[in-house]
Amino acid sequence: MISVKEAKDILSRNCEKGRISEFKLEQSLGKILAEDIHSPMDVPSFDNSAMDGYAMQFHEKYRHWKVSGLVQAGDTESIEVGPGEAVRIFTGAKMPKGADTVIQQELIDKQGNNSIYYNSGKITTGSNVRLKGSQCKKGEKILQKGARITPGIIGLLASVGVSKVAIFTPPLVGCVVTGNELKEVGEQLMDGEIYNSNGPMLEALLKKTGVGEITALRAQDDKNELQQTINKALAENDVLLLSGGISVGDYDFVKECLESAGVKELFYKIKQRPGKPFYAGKKEEKWVFALPGNPASVLSCFNQYVQPCLKTIMGEEQVWQPDLELTLSEETRKKPGFTFFMKGKKEDGKVTLLTGQQSFNLQAFSTADCLVELDEEMAVVPKGTMVKVYNL
């Protein structure tokens, strides 16, 4: 049996960024950019007005102009403005040739039909003009590889005319839930049966992590059926997750079937609670994680091991650190020799361990917002101890 740290070291050593592929801008939200982006154009691509007002060649001495034309946002023809002339202009409209300044309409007095007057002293040459290339020049680096695509970044990329980006491809994940005792939500339970809660929870965890297509599969505790399901799921996905059947019971066939499918074990069993019989393996570039069936083990093993690996494949860095460190609000006792991952709630800069931590009990899942790591060697963890906290 290995320690939590050893398990994480093995995974981080073996896990690399995944394939890169091109994604349409509208499909890139939340994903990680796999290349630097250089702007293919000057933005703005033409000098334009930042205000509704009048454009002219400005000179301190002149206060009166004759209005000689009009230009609206989207007009593509070039108009010219001569000395002593001004052109009516609107926000975003192309600056007329010969004009270098816009006076906003609030500072203008109209005199008759075609004549304007200005006397506020607020304007200098170049006021209210957005110059060509002032956001970025053609060829300038506007985004760094490794950036997570946000709605703002989508806006930026669209503004420079980029419609496709190179992304670390989210992996296809097959999710096999094992157990004769399981029925799907909506089905009738017989005495001795339970609802499959790991399946929907794992799917939600995978979606939240941002993976590609998820294929949900079910297998009975039957070696042949399980073998076929595993072989198919491995062939069709980049990552295979299993729930249940990885412990030492007579009907726990997962490990055996993975070996028969050609999966090479990285480790099996970690000195931790919950989730001791957690298995990680690889078949060439494909990843396999077998999680013990207890729902608390599933949540904890996914959070601690599966999610960081998936994030690495999807191009994220620094995935193995805790999200934060907080002080424990109350003393707690634990069995030494095992790292504990307890469901917790963050409050006022402290973290409280919730009641109902048994591995079958899902009630605390409703209020937990984090997992708290309690060190392997500790037996009593005093109130006020700094503990590692992982967001759920």
Q: Which residues bind ligand AMP (CB under 6 A)?
A: 177, 179, 181-182, 194, 196-199, 243-245, 247, 249, 292-295, 360
Q: Note whether 199 binds Mg ion by CB under 5 A.
A: no
DSSP codes of every residue in 181-248: TEE-TTSPPPTT-EE--HHHHHHHHHHHHT-S-EEEEEE-S-HHHHHHHHHHHHHH-SEEEEES--SS
By CB under 5 A, name the one of 170, 244, 292, 295 that touches Mg ion. Answer: 244
Q: Could you say which residues in the range 43-102 bind Mg ion, by CB under 5 A?
A: none
**Does 44 sit behind a cis peptide bond, omega within 30 degrees of 0 on the bond before it?**
yes
| Closer to ligand AMP by Cβ: residue 243 or 303 | 243
Choose the contact partner of 272 out of ligand AMP, Mg ion, none; CB within 5 to 8 A by kind: none
Q: Note whether 179 binds Mg ion by CB under 5 A.
A: yes
**Contact assessment for residue 338 and residue 273, using Cβ atoms and an 8 Å cutoff:** yes
CA atoms within 13 A on the CB side of 274: 24
Interface map 291-310 toward Mg ion (x if CB under 5 A): --x-----------------
**Contact assessment for residue 87 and residue 69, using Cβ atoms and an 8 Å cutoff:** yes
Q: Tell the smallest beta-carbon distance from residue 190 to ligand AMP (Å).
A: 14
Q: Tell the smallest beta-carbon distance from residue 254 to ligand AMP (Å).
A: 8
Task: Identify the DSSP state of 171.
Answer: P
From the list 35-43, 145-153, 186-194, 286-294, the region that binds Mg ion by CB under 5 A is 286-294
Q: Note whether 277 binds Mg ion by CB under 5 A.
A: no
Q: Tell the smallest beta-carbon distance from residue 11 to ligand AMP (Å).
A: 21
**Contact assessment for residue 197 and residue 362, using Cβ atoms and an 8 Å cutoff:** yes
| Closer to Mg ion by Cβ: residue 96 or 293 | 293
Which of 248, 257, 242 lies closest to 276, judged by CA? 248
From the list 6-14, 195-203, 239-247, 336-344, the region that binds Mg ion by CB under 5 A is 239-247
CA atoms within 13 A on the CB side of 374: 28
| Closer to ligand AMP by Cβ: residue 129 or 246 | 246
Q: Tell the smallest beta-carbon distance from residue 215 to ligand AMP (Å).
A: 16
| Closer to ligand AMP by Cβ: residue 171 or 244 | 244
DSSP codes of every residue in 351-372: EEEPS---TT--GGGGT--EEE
| Closer to ligand AMP by Cβ: residue 53 or 244 | 244
Distance CA 26, CA 301 (A): 32
From the list 8-16, 34-42, 232-240, 242-250, the region that binds Mg ion by CB under 5 A is 242-250
Q: Tell the smallest beta-carbon distance from residue 220 to ligand AMP (Å).
A: 12
Alpha-carbon dihedral of residues 220, 224, 226, 228, nearest 10 degrees?
-130
Total Cβ atoms within 10 A of residue 250:
6
Helix (H) or strand (E) holding 106: none
Q: Which two tokens stand for residue 266?
A: 């990285």
| Closer to ligand AMP by Cβ: residue 185 or 386 | 185
| Closer to ligand AMP by Cβ: residue 68 or 361 | 361
Helix (H) or strand (E) holding 154: helix 151-159
State the residue number with the nearest CB to ligand AMP. 293
| Closer to ligand AMP by Cβ: residue 171 or 292 | 292
Return residues touching Mg ion (CB under 5 A). 179, 244-245, 293
